[in-house]
């Protein structure tokens, strides 16, 4: 009978663990002569690193690759993570007993569909993990934008609503800004109903009353 060995996959329990994994990734990229890369990070890892909220998270969510040009910063959510970069990510996963895809572009479609909140690139926090890895962690305000959208998904609503209500605790002004961002495009009545439901759950029925039917 063949014996199957299972290796426990670790979650990130603290900002220090997330920062340490990114430091290790930056070092590995440098030693492997991998092309430098810059990434926008959102989600639970950004909440932890920027001390907006502290909770366990499985992965590091990449919102987009960043290209820094002479004319300014360009967000490239349409561009996939390079194969050699993903290979190094998997090596770090093995080193630290993380999920193989502990760094991934799961939320990349957000920018493709909704665009970036106005001013996002002026608010984020930049950190360098050696010369081969630069990370832009989105701000608290932009987390409110994306978490509000995520909480509108019935299948994932509870976790994201918990982040908003119990950890981030957005102000009325922050929720208003997120709602304006989401309404700045054509949307269905069902979409607006879900938005109204989330806003009400956060205690801002007055904002929900202003969302068009």
**What are the residue ranges in the chain where pLDDT is below 70?**
1-9, 157
pLDDT in tens, 121-179: 999 999 999 999 999 999 999 999 999 999 998 877 688 898 899 889 999 999 999 99
Tally the residues of the chain: 213
- pLDDT computed for residue 107 by the predictor: 87
Residue 18's SS3 state is: helix
Give the separation between CA 172 and CA 203, rounded to whole angstroms.
Answer: 9
- pLDDT computed for residue 192 by the predictor: 95
pLDDT in tens, 137-152: 999 999 999 999 999 9
- pLDDT computed for residue 69 by the predictor: 87
138 within 8 A of 124, measured Cβ to Cβ: yes
- pLDDT computed for residue 135 by the predictor: 98
Residue 180's SS3 state is: helix
How much of the chain is helix, strand and coil, in % rounded to 5?
50, 15, 35
């Amino acid at each position: 009978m063949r014996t199957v060995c299972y290796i426990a996959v670790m979650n990130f329990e603290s900002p220090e663990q997330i920062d340490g994994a990114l430091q290790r990734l930056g070092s590995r990229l440098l030693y492997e002569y991998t092309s430098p890369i810059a990434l926008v990070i959102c989600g639970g890892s950004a909440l932890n690193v920027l001390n907006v909220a502290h909770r366990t998270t499985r992965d590091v969510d990449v919102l987009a690759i960043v290209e820094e040009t002479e004319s300014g910063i360009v967000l490239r959510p349409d561009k996939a993570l390079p194969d050699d970069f993903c290979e190094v990510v998997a090596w770090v996963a093995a080193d630290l007993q993380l999920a193989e895809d502990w760094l991934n572009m799961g939320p990349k479609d957000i920018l493709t569909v909704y665009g970036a909140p106005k001013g996002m690139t002026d608010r984020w926090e930049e950190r360098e993990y050696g010369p081969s890895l630069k990370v832009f962690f989105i701000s608290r305000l932009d987390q409110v934008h994306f978490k509000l959208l995520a909480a509108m998904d019935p299948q994932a609503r509870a976790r994201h609503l918990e982040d908003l209500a119990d950890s981030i605790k957005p102000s009325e002004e922050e929720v208003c800004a997120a709602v304006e961002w989401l309404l700045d495009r054509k949307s269905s009545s069902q979409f607006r109903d879900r938005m109204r439901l989330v806003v009400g759950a956060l205690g801002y029925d007055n904002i929900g009353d202003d969302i068009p039917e």
